[in-house]
Amino acid sequence: MGKRFSALALALMLVFALAGCAGTPPSSQPASASVPASAPASSSVPAAETRWQDTLAAAAAAAQPGQAQTDGAATEAASAVRTWYEVFVYTFCDSNGDGIGDLTGVTETLDYMTYLGFNGLWLTPIFPSPTYHKYDVADYTAIDPAFGSLDDFDALIAAANARGISVILDFPLNHTSVEHPWFVAAKAAVTEGRMDDPHIGYYHIAQEKGSGNWEELAPGWYYECQFWGGMPDLDLASPALRAELEAAAAFWLGRGVAGFRLDAVKEFETGNNAFNIDTLRWFNDCVKGIRPDAWLVGENWDTTPALYTYYASGVDSFFDFPFAGSSGYIAQALLQADSPASRYTAALADELPLIAAQNPGGTPAPFFTNHDTPRAAGFLRRDAARIKLAWAMNLLQNGNAFVYYGEELGMAGSGKDENKRAPMYWTADPDAPGMTAGPPGMDAQEHPFPPADQQIGDATSILEFVRSAVALRQAQPVLALGQVEALDLGDAPAKVGAVQKTLGDETVVLYFNLGGDAATLPNIAGTLTASLPTGDAPPTLAGGILELPGLCIAVVAG
């Protein structure tokens, strides 16, 4: 553990030690951003303490618990899906002062993730690679030295599991690095005319270029590399290659990972969905044969109905691209005057039968942004209320929901990829212990909202709102697991919509006001059990009349 950063572990341990010593169980009150989820902690921070780790820890220690109390049945049901935090390791947290994030840095910040309520952690690739992003793998069964060692990885898994956090690894199956020994061997064999070398069959190598991007391997020979020349595409039809990848998957499952995120699955053979689905079926069967409870989520960057056909592979989840980013249902509903709330609520209900038709056990994986997309603060025009509501809409979707690191802070980042992967904004001092330098070539970033050490404990912050939304999701499993029906609200304003969710004997209705004006809804039966308002005024339900402020969500139990 780096001396420069070891104080963070002790400081964050203090958060939960103090919370536990209070002698008061978590509040059974429904999570609501209209009720302060925390209190300022200025009286708890000694004047001499200036390190962000200690400030963050003291503020968190003074905060009220963010997760509503649940009974055993609810906890068991909630374990069927998780709420995931995506960490781009290179820029997340630096434990040794070299400016690069690492596995020990992730371990030292697990209590921050727990404070927010996350019980799943997705690590972007951690394998040896010549690039900062590591999506071009040079060895599938090792840790990049910049990130640490296998011992550091094992410590992270143990610490995460002790907190109830499952860890999945990003597993790029589509391509490797040109530095991978397989590709080095294939290139040498082709150059020397040893065409019987099995490594040649690991890649798409031919004497004529195919469609898309191909680069020269040797005189008169070419290799496919659809993303760029440094990422040669694998030939996943090769039995020998499949055996290598099966061994790599078994290696990590044996070290305690809960599953994998599968990169670029529709590019296994671009334009050949049948082959891609069959390949995923092979990998799913392999992984589940090793660990039956493992969980797989695929990246199929598609917003058409073809996305749902990939569930026939048996893979548990695919990222829900139709709802994500600046052109997805969520952003359209919040930004476009001609996009009614009913379009969003209908989409929530319509996708579940499409998934079930292909895989009855499949679940969506809603996300709003990730390491490949612009951050939400930019395309939501730095509007804190809409940023908050967008994340609530994401987190209250069915399935395994994902939040990209720093989005709980409203971080900036758009344009080239490096900007989308800026250093986690722990504190305003870029040279403070734990801060990373960022990817090479990143533009300077000016974040529109305060850093983590100022947002934690501030009941009006984006961070505390996201924490409340996660708490609500965890407290009421019906929100993530229920059958969904879009409701017709008659002559309600166009920006007001509702969905009914049912799980067993429990039924709730979520009312969304996605516009800025307050709305009054008559003839509403049930009890208002929770709300996520983005402003000062919470919704009310009395005498069958629901008063719904602008940019607000209300949960009514029937």
| CB within 8 Å of 322: residues ≥ 6 apart | 303, 307, 328, 329, 347, 351
What would you measure as the largest C-alpha separation in the chain, in angstroms?
A: 84
Element (DSSP H or E) covering residue 513: strand 506-513
List the domain range (segments joined by +) for residue 218: 181-224
Assigned token pair, 217: 């391997």
Strand order in the sheet with 545-548: 519-521, 545-548, 540-542
Contact indicator for 41, 63 with CB cutoff of 8 Å: yes
Taking Cα atoms as reference points, which of 422, 415, 426, 464 lies closest to residue 446?
Answer: 422
Catalytic annotation present for 263: yes
Residue 229 lies in a domain: no
Distance from C-alpha of 411 to C-alpha of 392, rounded to nearest angstrom: 17
- Residue 231 resides in a domain: no
Can you tell me the distance from the alpha carbon of 236 to that of 173, in angstroms, rounded to the nearest whole number?
Answer: 8
Do 147 and 52 belong to one domain?
Answer: yes
Is the pLDDT at 5 greater than 80? The verdict is: no
- 169 and 187 both lie in a single domain: no
DSSP string, 304-354: STHHHHGGGG--SEEB-GGG-STTSHHHHHHH-TTS-HHHHHHHHHHHHHH
166 shares its domain with 17: yes
Q: pLDDT for 298-356, tens place per residue?
A: 999 999 999 999 999 999 999 999 999 999 999 999 999 999 999 999 999 999 999 99
Which of 450, 478, 506 lies at the terminal end of a domain, its last residue?
478
CA gyration radius for the chain? Answer: 24
What torsion, rounded to 10 degrees, do the Cα atoms 296, 302, 303, 309 define?
-60
* pTM as predicted: 0.91
**Is 108 a residue of the active site?**
no
Q: Could you give the CA distance from residue 151 to residue 340 in angstroms, rounded to a whole number?
A: 52
| Span 470-510, pLDDT tens digits | 999 999 999 999 999 999 999 999 999 999 999 999 999 99
Cα dihedral sign, 103-109-115-116: negative
133-173: per-residue pLDDT in tens? Answer: 999 999 999 999 999 999 999 999 999 999 999 999 999 99
Same domain, 444 and 527: no
Picking from 558, 516, 521, the residue whose alpha carbon sits closest to that of residue 533 is 516
Residue 558's pLDDT is what? 86
Nearest in space to 423 (alpha carbons), one of 410, 405, 408, 441: 405
Query: CA nearest 320: which of 399, 405, 375?
Result: 399
CATH code of 548's domain: 2.60.40.1180
Q: φ and ψ at 470, to 5 degrees? A: -65, -40
Determine which one of 54, 299, 351, 407 is catalytic: 299
Report pLDDT for 44.
34
CB 533 within 8 A of CB 35: no
Same domain, 64 and 156: yes
Q: 54, 86, 94, 263: which one is catalytic?
A: 263
pLDDT tens digits, 429-478: 999 999 999 999 999 999 999 999 999 999 999 999 999 999 999 999 99
- Do residues 550 and 441 both lie within one domain? no
Please give the Cα distance from 476 to 111 (Å, whole number): 23
Domain count, the chain: 3
Judge whether residue 56 has pLDDT over 80.
no
